[in-house]
Amino acid sequence: MKIVYVLLGLFIIINYGLLQAGVLRRITARVGKRIGVPFYQPYIDLIKNYAIRSQFSHGVMFYLGPVFRLSGGVGIFLFMPLIFGNEIFSNYSMAGDLILIMYFMFIGMLGMALGAGEGGHPYSIIGITRGLSQFTTVEVPFTLAVISIAIQYQTLSITEIVAAQQGGIMHWTLMTNPLATGAAMLSFLGMMMYAPFNVVNAPQENPLGPPTEFHGTFLGMLQTNRVILGVMEAILFMNLFFGGATNWGILFIKAFLIYFYPVFVGAVFPRYRIDQSIRWFLYLPTALGILAIIFI
Amino acid sequence: MVGPIYIIAISLGTAFSLGFFKKANRNISFGLMFFAMAFVTFISGQWLYAFLSHQQETIQIFTAGFKPPFSISLQMGFHEAVFLTMINVLGLLSAIYLFDHLKEKGANMMMVFMLLFMGLNVVVMTRDIFNLFVFLEISSITLVGLIILEKKQDAISSGFKYLIASGIISQILLIGIIAAYYYGGSLFINDMVDSNLLFVKGGSVAVFLILIAVVLELKPFPANGWALDVYQSATPGIGAIVSGAVATTSLFILYKLLPIGGDAWLLPIGITGVISFLGSNFLGINQKNANRILGYSSIGQVGLLMIIMSLSKDLGDKFEFVFFSILISHYLAKAGLFWISGIINKDEIGQWNIIKNKPGLIVLTGVFMLTLLGLPPFPSFYGKWELIMNLAHSGNFTWIAIILLGSFFEAIYLLRWFGKTLMNNENSEELIVKFHKIFPAVISSFLILMFSFLTARWSGLMSVKYFIPFAIALLLFALDFLPVFIKNIMAIATVSWYSYVLIYQTYIPENDILRIIFGFIFLIGAILLLFPGFTFKGKRRGFYPLVILMFSGLAGLIEARTTFQFFFAWEMMTLASYLLIIRGKNAKKTSFSYILFSMAGAFMMFIGFGLAYFETGSISLNALADVLIYANWVYILVAVGFLVKIASLGVHIWLPDSYTEADDDVTPMISSILVKSGVFGLIILMLSMSLKNAASSNIPYILGWIGALSALIGNMLAIYQEDVKKLVAYSSIGIMGYILFGLSMMSHLGWLTAISYSIVHFLYKALLFLAVAGIIYRTKTRNIYEMGGLIKRMPLSFISVLIGIITLAGMPPLVGFAGKWMFYNAVILKGWYFQGAIVFFSGIVAFLYCFKLIHNIFLGPIKDNHRKLKETSVWWLIPQFVLIIGIMIISVYPKIILEPIGLYLSMYFPGEGLVWAGTTASTSLGYWDATQIMMVFAGMFGVIFIILFLMSRKVQVVEQFNIVFQAERPERPETTHYAHNMYAPYNKALGFLAAPFITNSWEFIYESFHAIGDQIRKFYTGNGQTYALHIVMYVVAFYLFINGGF
């Protein structure tokens, strides 16, 4: 029975994510004084890709890359409690805590990297090395923030962290631990890979980056993952810092706002070079993270 | 029994009768001399046997029917017998060695040779000081005669310098004797001792002159240029006599005459010894001439023996043991090295690689050098142990520091030299080894081995069972002619038997979890890692004895119950691993830094054990827990030894190159097994010193920071490496830092992480290195950017590396994640947030090199020359897949290792551990269910895979050079492999963390040593007059020193 609810949750998340992606693309276009795609464009892209019949594979790892990647995204979904107080939509969060989620992100990255690696296109590898490089320092402030809230709540269980934030906005981590929230939100910019941290797959310099060789079903899977991953990361931050959600409505609103924030920043700021962005995360965000631990 | 007087009679008679044979057949003269020498040796040996076997009393022989002081008296006691035997055995072996030399120079030379040994014999036996003077003169002049008769120009000049110097010395002695007779009225040494000459008016001057002359005879640094020149320019066979017989005799004179000076002279002698010991060994570092180095070393050792003599009161009843074990080792080994030097006949040590293809000579050289260094199992090891421990017992730590420092200097040049002998030899010059030249060295090495066994038994520290590994190693050495296949089977069988006895029969019944775990890593690991040995062709000479010694050293560590056993096993393991590393083609330089760091670490550990003994009076390992006053010192000193082995930041610079340059199947052994000895040592140390001992609580905190920084820097450096073995090697530094950090947390979870991670690290590091070695075995290159696209050629190796890096990176669902998860919990519970954050950061940095490793080898376009490669040999793959199975089992069900370790740890750390409910582990912070995660992951992965499979049934597999894809350039596929300098932007951003600051600092220290040595060396001008002045100045300085003039 559990599995049915889990699949239902996944279905909701995918649809929500596709809609959100479409809306945000349109908003970004408007910022750039363009009209933009219709909000249902991501559906069209996805269906088109899954429907393409001519497909090429460069080998086993190329073939399995998207599987790993999607497993990573779905895995985070599976181990994340979605709706607080709702046993049905807590998924398999009893199997592991926050640390599991943090490390599960790596599985997808590794799979993508391996698949793209066997694809053999130099652009893919350049994108991957950049992505990995940036990722190492993005994680630093986030880790510090996680340690800070683990000290604050004396738990690593996401459900318990959400539970501790119930009772109004003043109980959110945002209010009780603004430094940790600040550090984490800055590293969130890096995780979402919008500008100024989007040199990994910046079309102008590095056409598409890692997914260069992927097409058809493979690309469809990567897109599906992107959708799930984006929403799930927003939900993770919602759970950790913004009081979680007690029903789907609140979840949609909070997730949208959290997701909107890197898009907003990306629309305003130009792009960093990769060595600049690597260093950037070790300055202000890390300093905030350290302060978050000191002043907890 | 033949009386000692016959020694003189026969020598003298032979020497005179040789005159009649001048013109006759030289073989006859040589035969005559040889038999005389043999008979003399027989006489002394017979007396020695008598003293050893049945309580023979010391006898006095009075010549001419008078009693002393009116006659010359000789004494034959136990000590005399020992020294005489030593001198005469050396004489006999020297005669054999110099066979063609003596024959060429004729009867005159033989006469002089005979008289030299007669002189030395009498000097040892006589109890009359004037008689001593006379025979000392005889031996000096005959020695100079031997040197000058060589008729080589520099030998003659050095002979004259020797003559000038010994002339001055004997005049000082003579004046001293006159004064002594004037003030004391007797020249009989026993009377002189009894009469307390020092307290007679004017007697102190007499004593001073006599003793300073004796000291000068010992060629003390720096008034010894004359002796060094002799060592350097005389034929090495004569060098052997000077070092082995003349120096030994001089030591005996000091031993005999020192009582005249009484206790007041002990300290000055000791200080003279210190200056000699430190000075000569320090200058030795900068030398290149083999014979001169031996000279320095010889003088240094004499200095050490002088120190020991001066400390005889502190050593108590161990004095004889210490003195003789060091003296005899020195005497045999030094002579042996001189003989080998004569065979090689090259001045520069850089040219000694001519013996590269003579395994026998290498083994002999190794035995002699290691004996000089005092490494186990050689006799000087036991001597040094007793020396240090007894000094520690009486609190003489300054002396300990001096002795170990000097030994370290000596280690530097001897090991550098040993490294040079193994250098690759482009010179095709053939070395001709004559039987009579090699024979004495072989005998000498046999005597060393025999004496090793005897000393070990005599010391009472070793039970017979410790000799089993040596016996097996010797057996394997004897069977070295067998093909590698058979020897590998024998080695595997030996280790299997050992692990059966140790783990199954001993530790499992005792339920000693810690020892089961490390026994498993050390021995079961050894069995696995011996498998690739089957791929080697030929004989692999000398490999298997060393492997057995290394693994039994490791096993000895876990068996050790006393600090002695521990130190013995530690040194043996270090030594064997050094010799294994040095076998690598380009490993000479790096193995040198490995052994130097290891020796320095071991010496620190030695002092630490000594300090513990000083305070507790026990050498039991458990007694470390009782150390209170010096707890911090003991802790730090012992820990440094272990930190070197796990290559913590600051002392890590030996590791990368050593791992890289060692043979491909040795690297996994040292990287995944040997380093764990450091972890094991730290565990033992911390269990007793941190837990049960409240006195030393701050050190783990420091160790924690060292661990965290090691993790960061190790990983940071790993990502920039282009040599695949080096990449994995640097990663080892990082992981070891991580384990060190876990241990230093001193909490249940921290230790659970560290110990379980030791197992996991063993599994994946062995896996990675084996896979990499298997790939190098096929590709014949270590440069990672020269590989690529091998996934299609070597899919099984790919699986190994993939599993290895997933585990290393700590990704779920494999067991590496267990380490990360427990670590987060441990760090937060402990409150070490910042150190912890550094470790986490370095864990993420590890992703970079993990990806580099797998991508550059297996992915991207394949290189032209690799297009026809095959999967690596099955012997590389078998252990890999056993390790993979191990990883998978504990990934699915980590409880099987975590629960018993947790139970074991709760004995020591009653604090918070893991709580198990079914397969879910939880702490007060979080929870984690590996089995469930694995199931969810597998299910999800399976479903997604099936979906993809169904949607892409018509997928077309494209090959290389389908240029629509991949942006490939068919003419040069390597140009599209983004592999070289892969993380350039990262280097630009954070490369400063990887700057070779520490390596440069160490090199600066090493260079400074050389520069200082170079300056001091200018003191030796090579001019006989200057040397004479040195002697006079030395006497004056000494006089001022003991009379408080300074």
CB contact under 8 A, A110 and B851: yes
CA-CA-CA-CA torsion sign (B871, B873, B876, B877)? positive
Q: Where are the alpha helices (DSSP H) in A84-215?
A: 98-119, 122-153, 158-164, 173-176, 178-192
pLDDT at residue B69, rounded to an integer: 67
Its pTM stands at 0.92
pLDDT at residue B952, rounded to an integer: 82
Chain A contact for B940 (CB, 8 A cutoff): yes
Over pLDDT 70: what percentage of chain A? 98
Pick from B798, B958, B986: CB nearest A133: B986
Which among B745, B743, B707, B925 has a CA at the least distance from the CA of B831? B745
Question: Are B914 and B749 a contacting pair, CB within 8 Å?
Answer: yes
Average pLDDT estimate for A162-179: 93
Three-state DSSP class for residue B664: coil
Pick from A71, A144, A293: CB nearest B941: A71
Rounded distance between C-alpha atoms, residue B947 and residue B966, angstroms: 26
Q: Which residues of B touch A54 (CB under 8 A)?
A: 954, 956
Rounded distance between C-alpha atoms, residue B624 and residue B632, angstroms: 11
pLDDT at residue A202, rounded to an integer: 73
Please tell me the distance in Å from B801's CA to the nearest CA on chain A: 12
Q: Which residues of chain B have pLDDT under 70?
A: 22-24, 68-69, 425-428, 692-697, 963-966, 1045-1046
Q: Which residues of B touch A64 (CB under 8 A)?
A: 945
Q: Which residues of A touch B892 (CB under 8 A)?
A: none
Which among A46, A16, A11 has a CA at the least distance from the CA of A255? A16
Q: Which residues of B touch A151 (CB under 8 A)?
A: 828, 833
Amino acid letter, residue B76 = M
Domain range for A181? 2-294
Based on its alpha-carbon atoms, the radius of gyration of chain B, rounded to whole angstroms, reads 33
Pick from A113, A119, A122: CB nearest B851: A113
Chain A contact for B809 (CB, 8 A cutoff): yes
CB contact under 8 A, B944 and A140: no
Rounded distance between C-alpha atoms, residue B181 and residue B209, angstroms: 13
* Exposed/middle/buried for residue B608 (C-beta within 10 Å: 0-12, 13-18, 19+): buried
As given in the structure block, the two tokens for residue B676 are 């764990």
Instruction: Count the alpha carbons within 13 Å of A291 in the hemisphere toward its beta carbon.
Output: 14
Rounded distance between C-alpha atoms, residue B942 and residue B934, angstroms: 12
Q: Which residues of B touch A130 (CB under 8 A)?
A: 985
Question: Are B169 and B143 a contacting pair, CB within 8 Å?
Answer: no
As given in the structure block, the two tokens for residue B404 are 């170990």
As given in the structure block, the two tokens for residue B653 are 């610079």
Pick from A54, A122, A139: CB nearest B978: A122
pLDDT tens-digit series, residues A86-142: 888 888 888 889 999 998 888 888 888 999 888 888 888 888 999 999 999 999 999
Average pLDDT, chain A: 90
Over pLDDT 90: what percentage of chain A? 64
Amino acid letter, residue A266 = G
- C-alpha to C-alpha distances, B214 to A31, B129, B263, nearest whole angstrom: 99, 12, 17
pLDDT at residue B108, rounded to an integer: 86
Rounded distance between C-alpha atoms, residue B205 and residue B183, angstroms: 10
Question: Are B166 and B140 a contacting pair, CB within 8 Å?
Answer: yes
Question: Are B703 and B744 a contacting pair, CB within 8 Å?
Answer: yes
Rounded distance between C-alpha atoms, residue A2 and residue B197, angstroms: 103
For chain B, domain boundaries: 1-127, 748-995
Pick from B806, B828, B982: CB nearest A150: B828
pLDDT at residue B692, rounded to an integer: 64
To test the contact with chain A by mutation, choose from B753, B784, B811, B849 the residue with the greatest count of A C-beta atoms within 10 A, namely B811
CB contact under 8 A, A156 and B926: yes
CB contact under 8 A, B812 and A103: yes
pLDDT at residue B23, rounded to an integer: 67
Q: What is the ipTM of this complex?
A: 0.95
Rounded distance between C-alpha atoms, residue B156 and residue B148, angstroms: 5
Place of tokens 């300055």: A283
**Domain tally, chain A:** 1
pLDDT at residue B907, rounded to an integer: 86
Q: Which residues of A touch B855 (CB under 8 A)?
A: 113-114, 117, 125, 128
Q: Which residues of B touch A119 (CB under 8 A)?
A: 965-966
Question: Are A132 and B847 a contacting pair, CB within 8 Å?
Answer: yes
**Closest chain A residue by Cα to residue B923:** A155
Question: Are B240 and B335 a contacting pair, CB within 8 Å?
Answer: yes
Rounded distance between C-alpha atoms, residue B372 and residue B930, angstroms: 55
Q: What is the DSSP letter of A213?
A: G
Pick from A57, A122, A139: CB nearest B955: A57
Q: Which residues contact B216 (CB under 8 A, 6 or more apart)?
A: B165, B169, B172, B223, B1031, B1034, B1035
Average pLDDT estimate for A185-206: 84
Give me the total of CB pairs closer than 8 Å, taking one residue from chain A and one from chain B: 242
Please tell me the distance in Å from A195's CA to the nearest CA on chain B: 18
pLDDT tens-digit series, residues A38-62: 999 999 999 999 988 878 888 889 9
